């Protein structure tokens, strides 16, 4: 069986590094992308030693206007054919919209929305030409309801979820799988940025990143369009579908503010 290659953004820690190891464990080469080169190099060395695959490190900032295209060109210059694109890079923010920083939320939109869209656009063309490929996008349970005090973050993840489901439908006949991974709170470095230490999110039971990564990976392999890793979060998703919209927003606010 010929090895394929998975490109993973946000690969320096958390869900990204865990999902990269899952691809490698199944014999796939990996391209590791994040801003922190040292972390990526350490992960690449571990992966190559444990799984005897090739791990290519590309330190890169995807929030810059030309970041996604420069990454695509860097991959092409190395003659790497990406079979699976994992759009995992992203960050959140907490606070009332009138009090949070415009610069932070502009950067969040650039990374959580624009980079996901541009990378998918750039890499999906070759997938269609080959008649095979896969995209795994890290969304969030926050994307299933407008969330006060995370207004921009929840909106970016709603975009990722909607975008993923639409692409999955469009590209199914082309042999391409698109999956949105929608975890609840996960024990990652996500909480180190964006005033999230002021929220109640970290006080909730946190999911293990390796478990979340496994759920996303398995769901992608089975061709699922949306993956919600925990039973509790799946029940919450069902509740959000039947409650009045105003109640859904209030419930979402309580999950982050109490």
72, 153, 159, 217: the active-site residue: 153
Residue showing tokens 């469009």? 170
| Cα dihedral sign, 122-123-127-130 | positive
What pLDDT shows up at residue 187?
A: 57
What pLDDT, on the 0 to 100 scale, is given for residue 200? 45
Residue 172: which pLDDT band, with cuts at 50, 70 and 90?
very high
Q: Summarize the confidence of residues 60-66 as an average pLDDT.
A: 95
DSSP assignment of 133-201, as one string?
Answer: EEEEEE--GGGGS--TT-HHHHHHHHHHHHHHHHHHHHHGGGTEEEEEE--SSBSSGGGGSTTGGGSSG
Q: What pLDDT score does 194 carry?
A: 53
153 is catalytic: yes
* CA gap 245, 108 in Å, rounded: 25
Higher-confidence residue: 154 or 205? 154
Start-to-end C-alpha separation, the chain = 51
Domain that holds residue 122: 5-257
- Looking at residue 238, its pLDDT comes to 52
Mean pLDDT for the stretch of residues 185-214 = 64
> What is the average pLDDT across 197-202?
50
Instruction: 69-72: list long-range contacts, CB under 8 Å, 24+ apart.
Output: 69/118, 69/122, 71/33, 71/119, 72/119, 72/122, 72/123
The string of pLDDT tens digits covering residues 69-109 is 999 999 999 999 999 999 999 999 999 999 999 999 999 99
CB 112 within 8 A of CB 120: no
Closest Cα to residue 119, out of 82, 53, 182, 68?
A: 68
CATH at residue 238? 3.40.50.720
Rounded Cα distance, 95 and 241, in Å: 25
CA angle 58, 30, 113 (to 5 degrees): 65
Helices 37-51 and 14-25, packing angle to 10 deg? 20
């Amino acid at each position: 069986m010929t090895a394929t290659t998975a490109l993973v953004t946000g690969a320096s820690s958390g869900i990204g590094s865990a999902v990269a190891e899952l691809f490698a464990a199944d014999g796939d080469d990996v391209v590791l992308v994040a801003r922190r080169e040292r972390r990526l190099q350490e992960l690449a060395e571990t992966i190559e030693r444990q799984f005897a695959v090739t791990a290519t490190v590309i330190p890169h900032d995807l929030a810059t206007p030309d970041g996604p295209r420069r990454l695509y060109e860097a991959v092409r210059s190395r003659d790497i054919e990406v079979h699976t694109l994992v759009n995992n890079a992203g960050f959140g923010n907490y606070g009332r919209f009138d009090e949070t920083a415009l610069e932070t939320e502009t950067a969040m939109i650039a990374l959580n929305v624009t980079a996901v869209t541009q990378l998918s656009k750039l890499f999906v063309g070759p997938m269609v030409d080959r008649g095979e490929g896969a995209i795994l996008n890290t969304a969030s349970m926050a994307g299933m309801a407008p969330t006060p005090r995370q207004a921009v973050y929840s909106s970016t993840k709603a975009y990722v979820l909607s975008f993923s489901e639409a692409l999955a439908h469009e590209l199914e006949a082309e042999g391409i799988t698109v999956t949105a991974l929608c975890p609840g709170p996960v024990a990652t470095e996500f909480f180190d940025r964006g005033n999230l230490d002021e929220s109640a999110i970290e006080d909730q039971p946190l999911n293990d990143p390796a478990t979340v990564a496994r759920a996303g990976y398995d769901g992608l392999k089975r061709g699922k369009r949306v993956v919600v890793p925990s039973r509790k979060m799946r029940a919450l998703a069902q509740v959000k579908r039947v409650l009045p919209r105003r109640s859904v927003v209030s419930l979402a606010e309580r999950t982050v503010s109490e």
